[in-house]
Structure 1
Amino acid sequence: MKLRSLAMLSFCVLLAACSKVNQENYSKLSAGMTKAEVEKLLGSPTDCSGALGMSSCTWGDKTSFISVQYAGDKVLIFSGQGLK
């Protein structure tokens, strides 16, 4: 049973370490990037919403996230919190 718990804990730590929501990827974002370029860098967003040609997508959770606002298909502004 201990081996199973240790394996599960190791998997969770490894999964967290592989997150694309990190300072390194945040620093690669820039205004004017396309949605496709951002998704190639960060993967599929956790949540998106929008209207009238403007949209906002978020990657991560409440404690560690990257938020990107688009005008059409291009990054307008972006922000991050709790990135490591």
Structure 2
Amino acid sequence: MRIALAAMLALLLAGCGKLDREHYEQLKMGMTYDEVATILGKADRCDDVLGTSSCIWGKEKKNIQVKFIAGKAALFSSEGIN
């Protein structure tokens, strides 16, 4: 049981490790979702509306958000990252 708990904790911490200024600064205009996901991992949530997609990595107080237009990154924002 301890091993399973330790493994789960390690996975949670690894996912949070990409929500920092270093990874945010690697994002570039025109990247595809797959290119962004290579840097940040799989998005926690994506919402698609009228040919645009807004994806968020992280939670309310610490996150990176990328808006894709026609499949390409167009806008970036972050909250609570160092």
Structure 2 length normalisation: TM-score? 0.80
User: Cα RMSD over matched residues?
Assistant: 2.2
1:1-84 residue pairs with structure 2 within 5 A? 15=13, 19-84=17-82
**Could you list the per-position Cα deviations for residues 30-75 of structure 1 after superposition, in whole angstroms to 9, with x for gaps in the alignment?**
1111111000000000111012210100001111100000002100
- Give the aligned length: 76
| Larger-gyration structure (1/2) | 1
The whole-number CA distance in structure 2 between the counterparts of 1:64 and 1:81 is 5
What residue ranges of structure 1 are gaps of 5+ in the alignment?
none
* Percent identity of equivalent pairs: 40
Q: CA deviation at 1:24?
A: 0.3
The whole-number CA distance in structure 1 between the counterparts of 2:61 and 2:71 is 27
Q: CA deviation at 1:79?
A: 0.4
Provide the secondary structure at the position in 2 that maps to 1:24.
helix
* Greater displacement, 58-67 / 14-23: 14-23
Q: CA deviation at 1:16?
A: 6.2
The whole-number CA distance in structure 1 between the counterparts of 2:43 and 2:36 is 9
The whole-number CA distance in structure 1 between the counterparts of 2:54 and 2:72 is 11
What residue ranges of structure 2 are gaps of 5+ in the alignment?
none
Structure 1 length normalisation: TM-score? 0.78
Which structure 1 residue ranges, 4+ long, deviate > 2 Å from structure 2?
none
